[in-house]
Amino acid sequence: MSTNKPHKGIQKRMRFTATGMVKHKSSNSKHLKSNKSGKRLRRLRKDKFLWSSQTKGLEMLLFRRLRGKDQPRTAFRKSPTPAEKKASRAEAARLAAMPAKKYATK
């Protein structure tokens, strides 16, 4: 069975933040700058982030979960590891086995 290989060209052209956002460099910012205004050049100097609609296609090419500029951080939750799943199940079982505390009311 073949393995999933990420698209090397996209990996070289884009950077991925720890929270899953995709940064890329603006086009028209490499050369022929003399006929562009200073305001335009300052805007082009900044790195851009992709929107969620643009990241959907990249997810399939890169085989990883990505988050768009317009999505909150909670949209990119990592799946728990098997050890974390086991620990949460054990905690839930422990809480279910404990007797419920009864509070005295006056």
The pLDDT value given to residue 11: 92
In tens, the pLDDT along 63-79 reads 988 989 898 887 766 77
With residues binned 3-state (H G I as helix, E B as strand, rest as coil), the percentages for the chain, rounded to 5, are: 40, 10, 50
Compute the distance between CA of residue 12 and CA of residue 26 in angstroms, rounded to an integer: 15
Choose the weakest-confidence range: 1-5, 8-12, 22-26.
1-5
In tens, the pLDDT along 46-66 reads 889 999 899 999 999 999 889
pLDDT above 90 for 3: no
77: nearest Cα among 89, 66, 63? 66
In tens, the pLDDT along 25-39 reads 988 988 999 999 999
- What domains are defined for the chain? 8-94 (4.10.410.60)
Compute the distance between CA of residue 65 and CA of residue 42 in angstroms, rounded to an integer: 31
pLDDT above 80 for 80: yes
Cα–Cα distances in angstroms (integers) from residue 23 to residues 19, 61, 68, 97, in the given order: 11, 16, 10, 48
R_g over Cα of the chain: 24
The pLDDT value given to residue 14: 92
